[in-house]
Structure 1
Amino acid sequence: MQDKITDGRSIRRWRRRLADEREEARVYRSLAARRSGEEREILLGLAEAEERHARYWEDLLGEDVGPHRRGQFHMRILVALARRFGSVFVLALAQRAESHSPYRYDQDVPASMAADERIHEEVVRALAARGRARVSGSFRAAVFGANDGLVSNLALVLGVIGGSLPTEAVLLTGLAGLLAGALSMGAGEYISVRSQRELLAAAAPDPRARAVVPDLDVDANELALVYRARGMEEDEAQRRADALLRKFQLNLSHPREDPASEPAQPSGGEAAPEVPDDHEVVGTGAKAAVSSFVFFASGALVPVLPFAVGLSGGLAVLVAIVLVGLALMLTGATVGVLSGAAPLPRALRQLAIGLGAAGVTYLLGLLFGATVG
């Protein structure tokens, strides 16, 4: 242990570090309990690493370790979320917590432990990326649908108010906009995703191509062009094609290498990093359509609510703007958290864009209302 006199401030800081490490270990163990296979093993490995860090602080504190204490409030919240949900949302929060580790600035932390924390961030980032890939299709439709419903229906409501229509007409217009927009968004999202999946399917390798490989002329064939067309360097493509043909000549079993389906690798021979399946990232048409319909309708209902409960005039407009503003900020903050970024800037950006679009529509309503009048 270090031969230096420690003051009360250092002891308090070390105790706080110890408590936070224990909380982080709980987060990863709670997440591991809700998973299986490789992801579970990875999360348990992270938990063991955090417990190793906790032992460092215990040794450093020695007799001053004190009673068991809880970590910071945001870490305790993360533990509670991990125990109940274990979703990509929790992984994104854990990634953000790892990215804000104070160890890089703490002189009492060994360089190896600070490096550990940076590696932990990358591990959690990779795990979160898997989860994001699984939900990205439906999540994109949900976020787009909710945002579009909030903004478009608020703009529609403000536009007709600017045209001096009565409250009943505003309410009817808002409900009509909700239904029409939700149906349009759902149908459009279904067509969009189905079309994208069909394009991906058209670009995918044909598995029947492997069946003709044994029949190729060894001295004259275009097998290397398959690899080159998929991004491999010329020399590497020729080497890979020759090796594949030699395997068939030697009457080996079906080779692992498949010219029709194997992705190109860097010319240095290193395996390319694993990427999510394109179809998985896009999602399914039905899920995207349902997400878009439901979230558009939910968002479009918000600016109509004040008029539906009997409010009218300026008060109804004010309440509608406040509700929509809060919903826009919530949507933006959620996107920020899931992307591993700071939620507040994303929330404010969403608010500014949404209310800006609605404000322009309101001004156009005033203009055309005054013109008609």
Structure 2
Amino acid sequence: MTEQSLSSNVFSKILKAQKNEQTEHEIYTRLSVLSKESDSKKLFAHIASDEKGHYTFWKNYTKQSVKPNMFLVFLFLTIARIFGVTFATKLMEKGEENAQDFYSQIKSEVPEAKQIISDEEEHEEKLLQLINEERLSYVGSIVLGLNDALVELTGALAGLTLALQNARLVAVAGLITGIAASLSMAASEYLSVKSEQTQNDKSPLKSAIYTGITYITTVTILILPYFLMPQLFAALAVSLTCALLIILFFTFYASIAQDVPFWRRFLEMAGISLGVATLTFIIGYVVRNVLHITV
């Protein structure tokens, strides 16, 4: 089949696919350099070669040369450096699911596209089997620090807001509580992982660090509005919004990196955090107005 025998609609789609393949070739080539494991390097180099072959295949139809989308190359490489190669590649493979739909639509006109679909499915399967990053091994420790900080601090801040009625006092009390709790959680995670070392290869120290850093980072974000905003209830609203955004971001990360359901995890975490915040807000009201305990 030649360029002239293609409809304008199919031709434009093929040209777009050609650019995508060139972009992914560039991304996987650079990921092969970025990756530290030899097996991952080989896999990324192999996928990059396949993507280049796909580009050449589509070029036979378009008779045009196209350049990669360097913005997407920069974006995915930045994501890989910050959030890990696993997250970046799985996020990219999610995009390839749409590409597979496209290939399925045009395979009646371009039967050879069936092989490209097969290649893309093979890429995803190999990536799922091979990639094993350290940060994913410790995602349980991160979840522990994140969940505990969100539940404990949103609850504490909500209760303290009504009980103390002073933004600075709430911020200081929340900070002290958060620091103490982060050290406690890190120590607990260290002892927990150490007691299970015969069952896994995780480092107790690294587990504790992941838990502690995640906890204190979450604490800092949640109490910051109380230091910056004199309006007490506005600070609480911003803090709870930050909590929801943290949950949203982490749930999205987990849904991509670990293939877990996004909405179920998000609603579960958000429901627990906001539920505890509501309960402690009521407790703060009782302490201040029923028991007449004020500061």
TM-score in same-fold range (> 0.5): yes
What is the distance in 1 between the residues matched to 2:121 and 2:135?
26
* Distance verdict in 2 for CA 1:193–1:308, change over 3 Å: same
Please say which structure displays the higher CA radius of gyration.
1
- Does residue 1:57 correspond to 2:55, yes or no? no
Q: 1:308 aligns with which of 197, 202, 227?
A: 227
Structure that is richer in helix per residue? 2
Q: Which residue of 1 aligns with 2:94?
A: 96
Match of 2:139 in 1: 139
Taking structure 2 as the reference length, what is the TM-score of the superposition?
Answer: 0.84
Deviations 1:141-189 (A, max 9, x none): 1232133213311210101223354434423321221122111101110
Structure 1 170/29 Cα, relative in aligned 2: closer, same or farther at 3 Å?
same
| Counterparts in 2 of 1:284 and 1:156: CA distance versus 1, 3 Å | same
**Aligned-pair distance for 1:326?**
1.9
Q: CA deviation at 1:115?
A: 1.5
Matched, 1:159 2:149: no
The whole-number CA distance in structure 1 between the counterparts of 2:264 and 2:190 is 31
Tell me the distance in 2 between the aligned counterparts of 1:10 and 1:146: 47
In structure 1, C-alpha distance between the alignment counterparts of 2:71 and 2:43, rounded to whole Å: 25
The match for 2:210 among 282, 291, 295 is 291
Asked whether the 8 Å contact 2:26–2:73 carries over to 1, the reply is no
Percent of paired sites with the same residue: 21
Cα shift at 1:299: 0.8
Aligned residue-pair number: 286
CA contact (8 A) 1:23 1:79 kept: no
Give, in whole Å, the separation in 1 of the partners of 2:223 and 2:81.
37
Matched, 1:362 2:287: no
Distance 1:80 1:371 in 2: 53
Mean CA deviation greater in 295-304 or 83-92 = 83-92
Greater CA deviation, 21-30 or 164-173?
164-173
2:116 counterpart residue number: 113
CA contact (8 A) 1:144 1:292 kept: yes
Distance change (3 Å), C-alpha of 1:30 and 1:349: farther
Unmatched 5+ residue regions in structure 2? none
1:244-272 deviation line (CA, Å, top 9, x unaligned)? xxxxxxxxxxxxxxxxxxxxxxxxxxxxx
The separation in 1 between residues aligned to 2:74 and 2:269, in whole angstroms, is: 29
Of stretches 84-93 and 151-160 in structure 1, the one that deviates more from structure 2 is 84-93
CA RMSD of aligned residues (A): 2.9
One-letter amino acid of the counterpart of residue 121, structure 2 = R
Q: Which residue of 2 aligns with 1:351?
A: 270
Q: Distance in 2 between matches of 1:342 and 1:106?
A: 30
User: Following the alignment from structure 1 to structure 2, what is the Cα–Cα distance between the partners of residues 342 and 97?
Assistant: 17
- How has the CA–CA distance of structure 1 residues 168 and 71 changed in structure 2, closer, same or farther, with 3 Å as cutoff? closer
Matches within 5 A, 1:63-212: 65=64, 67-71=65-69, 77-78=75-76, 81=79, 87-101=85-99, 102=101, 103-107=103-107, 108=110, 110-128=113-131, 130-131=132-133, 134-198=134-198, 200=199
